[in-house]
Structure 1
Amino acid sequence: MAQATTVVRHRPVIRRSADAQGALYWLACTCGHLGVEQAARRMAQVDLDQHVLSLPHIPAAQQCRTPHAHDRQAWEPCGLCENQTALFDPAELTGEAR
């Protein structure tokens, strides 16, 4: 019997906690990745950006054309849009030659 593969969704966010010493920020992702506690939000944002850049590249055929409607991020493949042909060629509309 074939084993079903599960898709790991990456929804990184920056979490914040505060105490008498000040605020701490860290990256938390739904994949389980946790970043190092940082004293500045900007440093936690750098961790988030590095995490997103470390994700595998999605081929153009698997990228979502309407990410908001399909609840997809740029780094996630879309099963609804995958391998669909375009209704028209944008180059034809602008008159650009290939």
Structure 2
Amino acid sequence: MPLSTTFRHRPEVVYRTEETSAGAAWVYRAACTCGETGPRRARWATANADLTAHLAEVAPPAEEQCRDQHGHGTQPWDACPLCAGQDALF
């Protein structure tokens, strides 16, 4: 079963300081509630690119995407249990 139908993905870029050979530095990492974490990055933008790639990987097929995300409370990368399997209107 794909991750998109099992988990509700709530991604974020987390950061903290770590000691490096050059001293203390900020380290950014993409993290999701499904357990996926990206590699340590020196820049927020590259960690955000990792996060975007993860969301593209777990996005549901077009027939399972929600037709009313605001009303059903889903995100574009989550499968909608209300819309999944329903026939499209005209």
SS of the counterpart of 1:36? coil
Which structure 2 segments of 5+ residues have no match? none
Q: Distance in 2 between matches of 1:68 and 1:57?
A: 17
Counterpart position of 2:68: 66
Structure 1: 4+ residue segments shifted above 6 A? none
Counterpart position of 1:9: 8
Q: Distance in 1 between matches of 2:59 and 2:72?
A: 20
Aligned residues: 81
Which structure 1 segments of 5+ residues have no match? 1-5, 90-98
Moved more, 40-49 or 68-77: 68-77
Residue correspondence of structure 1 range 20-59 to structure 2 within 5 A? 21-55=24-58, 57-59=60-62
* Displacement of 1:69: 2.8
Higher relative contact order (CA 8 A, sep 6+): 2
Q: Distance in 2 between matches of 1:85 and 1:55?
A: 22
Max Rg structure: 1
Report the TM-score, using the length of structure 1 for normalisation. Answer: 0.68
Name the CA shift for 1:67/1:56 in 2 (closer, same or farther; >3 Å). closer
Q: Distance in 1 between matches of 2:65 and 2:53?
A: 20
Q: Distance in 2 between matches of 1:27 and 1:38?
A: 9
Q: Distance in 2 between matches of 1:45 and 1:32?
A: 16
* Displacement of 1:25: 0.7
The one-letter amino acid paired with 2:35 is G
Greater share of strand residues, 1 or 2?
2
Report the TM-score, using the length of structure 2 for normalisation. Answer: 0.73
Structure 1 vs Structure 2 CA RMSD: 2.2
